[in-house]
A = this chain, B = another copy of it.
Amino acid sequence: MKAAVFHGPFNITADNVDDPKIKAPHEVIVKVLAGAVCGSDLWTYRGESAAALESRIGHEFVGEIVEIGNEVENLSVGDWVITPFRYSDGECAACKAGWQSSCAHGGFWGWDSDGGQGEYVRVPYAQATLVKLDEPPAAAAVPDLLTLTDVMSTGMHAASSAKIVPGDTVVVVGDGAVGQCAVIGAKLLGAGRIIVFGGKHPDRQALAKQFGADEVYSARGEEATATVQELTGGFGADVVLECVGSATSFATALTLAHPGGRLAYVGLPHGVSVDIAKLFRTNVTVAGGLCPARRYIEPLLPKVLAGDIHPGEVFTTRLPLADISEAYRQMDKRETIKVLVTP
Q: Which residues of A contact B (CB under 8 A)?
A: 93-94, 97-99, 101-102, 161, 233-235, 250, 258-260, 265, 268-270, 272-277, 279-290, 292
| Least distance between A245 CB and chain B CB atoms (Å) | 8
A74 to chain B, nearest CB (A): 25
Complex contacts, A276 vs chain B, CB 8 Å: 250, 265, 269, 272-274, 286
Across the interface, which residues of B come within 8 angstroms of A98, CB to CB? 260
Instruction: Tell me the smallest distance from the CB of A265 to a CB of chain B, in Å.
Output: 7
Chain B residues with Cβ below 8 Å from A287 are 283, 285-287
**Which B residues are in CB contact (< 8 Å) with A280?**
265, 268-269, 289-290
Instruction: Name the residue on B nearest A101 (C-beta).
Output: B283
> Closest residue of chain B to A277, judged by CB?
B269
Closest to A271 in B: B277
30 contacts between A and B (CB under 8 A): A93-B234, A94-B235, A94-B259, A94-B260, A97-B235, A97-B258, A97-B260, A98-B260, A99-B259, A101-B281, A101-B283, A102-B259, A102-B260, A102-B282, A102-B283, A161-B285, A265-B276, A268-B280, A269-B276, A269-B277, A269-B280, A272-B277, A273-B275, A274-B274, A279-B289, A280-B289, A281-B289, A283-B292, A285-B288, A286-B286
Give, as a whole number of angstroms, the nearest-CB distance from A251 to chain B.
11
Are B286 and A285 in contact, with the CB atoms below 8 A?
Answer: yes
Give chain B residues whose Cβ lies under 8 Å from the Cβ of A288. Answer: 283, 285
Is B235's CB under 8 angstroms from A93's CB?
Answer: yes
User: Which residues of the other chain, B, contact A272 by a CB distance below 8 angstroms?
Assistant: 275-277
Give the secondary structure class of A's interface: mixed
Q: A94-B260, A97-B260, A276-B286 are in contact. List 12 more A-B contacts (CB 8 A).
A: A94-B258, A97-B259, A99-B259, A99-B283, A102-B283, A268-B280, A272-B277, A273-B274, A279-B289, A280-B289, A281-B290, A283-B290
Please, how many angstroms separate the alpha-carbon atoms of A272 and B98 in the complex?
30
Chain B residues lying within 8 Å of A285, measured Cβ to Cβ, are 161, 285-288
Chain B: minimal CB distance from A252 (Å): 14
Minimum C-beta distance from A242 to chain B (A): 9
Residues on the B chain within 8 Å of A292, using CB: 260, 283
Residues of B within 8 Å of A270, CB to CB, are 277
Of the listed residues A161, A258, A277, the one surrounded by the most CB atoms of chain B closer than 10 A to its CB is: A277
A286 to B161, CA, bound (A): 11
- Whole-angstrom distance from the CB of A50 to the nearest CB of chain B? 12
Measured CA separation A175–B308 after assembly (Å): 52
A285→B290 CA distance, assembly (Å): 12
Hey, which chain B residues are within 8 Å of A289, CB to CB?
279-284
Determine the chain B residues whose CB is within 8 A of the CB of A273 once the complex forms: 273-276
